[in-house]
């Protein structure tokens, strides 16, 4: 299994890895999933990233796990109940498979929309995309052996970019496009 705790050059194959997992999830979930989107740094063309595919699944009710969890698990992922983020349910690959993060969020929720806005803005702004890449490299050099510090360290630049994304969204009349699968 490849070392995925590193910043890798952009790989056009990430899109195909998303499609493989996303289509499998779409087939299993059907209309239970309102949206299935490729999110995170691997979804942004040209972005250097940890080579981990992030998928956001939007559902009608986050609390009603019975409406989606079994189908996600049958697709090769397991629920991580220890997730401290109460705005989502978090699933990961079954051990031994390629690292994939599944973020299930309620459709229309702030956290669902924020994730899509962040992705879409970075697809738009090559300048902020480059700033984000530089900061990820800086943090990886500082916290190569401390994942929580690396993640925590990204907070300030993420919020700075989100502030710019908010202004851009108003100027552009942004709204989420069609679901990726």
State the pLDDT at residue 1.
Answer: 46
Query: What is the β-pairing status of strands 89-93 and 77-79?
Result: antiparallel
* pLDDT > 50? residue 3: yes
Q: What is the predicted pLDDT for the residue at 17?
A: 98
Tell me how far apart the alpha carbons of residues 67 and 69 are, in angstroms, rounded to a whole number.
7
Maximum CA pair distance of the chain? 45
Beta-bridge mates of residue 59: 33, 106
Please name the residue that has the structure tokens 């459709």.
Answer: 107
Q: What tokens were used for 168?
A: 């851009």
> Mean pLDDT score of the chain, rounded to an integer?
96
Could you tell me the domains of the chain?
A: 13-172 (3.30.460.10)
Asked whether residue 26 carries a pLDDT value surpassing 60, the answer given is yes
Asked whether residue 157 carries a pLDDT value surpassing 60, the answer given is yes
Contact between 56 and 37 (Cβ < 8 Å): yes
Question: Residues 69-89: pLDDT tens digits?
Answer: 999 999 999 999 999 999 999
Query: Does 5 score more than 90 pLDDT?
Result: no
Beta bridge partners, 102, equal: 55, 91
For 108-154, what is each residue's pLDDT tens digit?
999 999 999 999 999 999 999 999 999 999 999 999 999 999 999 99
SS3 142: helix
Rounded CA separation 178/174 (Å): 12
- pLDDT category at 67 given cuts 50, 70, 90 is very high
Is residue 47 packed enough to be buried (19+ CB in 10 Å), middle (13-18) or exposed (0-12)? buried
Q: For residue 2, what pLDDT band results from cuts at 50, 70 and 90?
A: low
The pTM for the full model equals 0.96
Cα–Cα distance measured from residue 69 to residue 16, given in angstroms and rounded to the nearest whole number: 24
- Cα–Cα distance for residue pair 106/156, rounded to 1 Å: 25
* Rounded percentage of the chain residues whose pLDDT exceeds 70: 98
Q: Which pLDDT does position 45 carry in this prediction?
A: 97
């Amino acid at each position: 299994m490849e070392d995925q705790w590193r910043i890798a050059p952009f790989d056009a194959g990430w899109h195909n890895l998303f499609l493989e997992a996303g289509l499998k999830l779409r087939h299993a979930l059907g209309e239970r999933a309102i949206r299935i989107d490729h999110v995170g740094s691997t979804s942004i063309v040209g972005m250097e990233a940890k080579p981990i595919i992030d998928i956001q699944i939007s559902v009608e009710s986050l609390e009603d796990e019975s409406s989606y969890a079994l189908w996600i698990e049958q697709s090769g992922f397991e629920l991580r109940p220890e997730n401290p983020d109460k705005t989502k349910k978090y699933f990961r690959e079954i051990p031994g498979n390629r690292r994939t993060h599944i973020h299930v969020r309620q459709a229309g929720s702030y956290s669902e929309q924020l994730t899509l806005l962040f992705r879409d803005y970075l697809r738009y702004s090559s300048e902020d995309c480059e700033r984000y890449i530089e900061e990820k490299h800086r943090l990886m050099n500082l916290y190569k052996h401390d994942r929580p510090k690396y993640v925590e360290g990204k907070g300030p630049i993420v919020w700075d970019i989100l502030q710019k994304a908010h202004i851009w969204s108003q100027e552009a009349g942004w709204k989420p496009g069609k679901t990726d699968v």
